[in-house]
Structure 1
Amino acid sequence: MSTLRKVAVVTGASSGIGAATALLLAQNGYRVFAAARRFERLEELAGRNENIEAHLLDVTDQSSVDAFVASIAGIEIDILVNNAGGAFDSS
């Protein structure tokens, strides 16, 4: 039996489908990197399960995306749930 834990990244994890998905994965033993703009809500979610790590991420801000990617660089990801969305100016 492998001692390596499966890893999941869930964006848009501060509420709704993203939060529910992160919690379900964590309850099933995954190490979950939960990422979103509303960090306070992520901290609340992480407080519900020790397998969840809160990460600040705003997908509309390239520097935020770069910082998030750097924080998980080198970690093998088994599941990616890309649930985040944002509005971009079309001009």
Structure 2
Amino acid sequence: MSNIKDKVIIITGASSGIGEATAKELVSKGAKVVLAARREDRLIKLQNEIQTSSGQVIYKVTDVKA
């Protein structure tokens, strides 16, 4: 994951599991992340946990259906 700094990445299923872990990793590498999932309470918690001082994390309640 080189060259990820300042890239904007949208992660669906971000409120738990692989999506949550991916969000944490990408933010730690300097990416700007949009968290998307159905559970707003978990999105808010994750955003607060990984938010950087430069505002690199936002969320949107989303339900992706097939």
TM-score, normalised via structure 1 length: 0.59
- The structure whose Rg is larger is 1
**Cα deviation code 1:33-70 (max 9, x no counterpart):** 0100011101000001222211110012xxxxxxxxxx
Task: List structure 1 runs of 4+ shifted beyond 6 angstroms.
Answer: none
Structure 2 letter corresponding to 1:42: L
TM-score, normalised via structure 2 length: 0.79
Name the % identity.
Answer: 43
The CA RMSD over aligned residues, in Å, is 1.5
Aligned to 2:38: 37
Aligned residues between the structures = 58
- Which segments of 5 or more consecutive residues in structure 1 lack a partner in the other structure? 61-87
Contact 1:12 1:18 in 2 (8 A): yes
Aligned to 2:26: 25
- Which segments of 5 or more consecutive residues in structure 2 lack a partner in the other structure? none
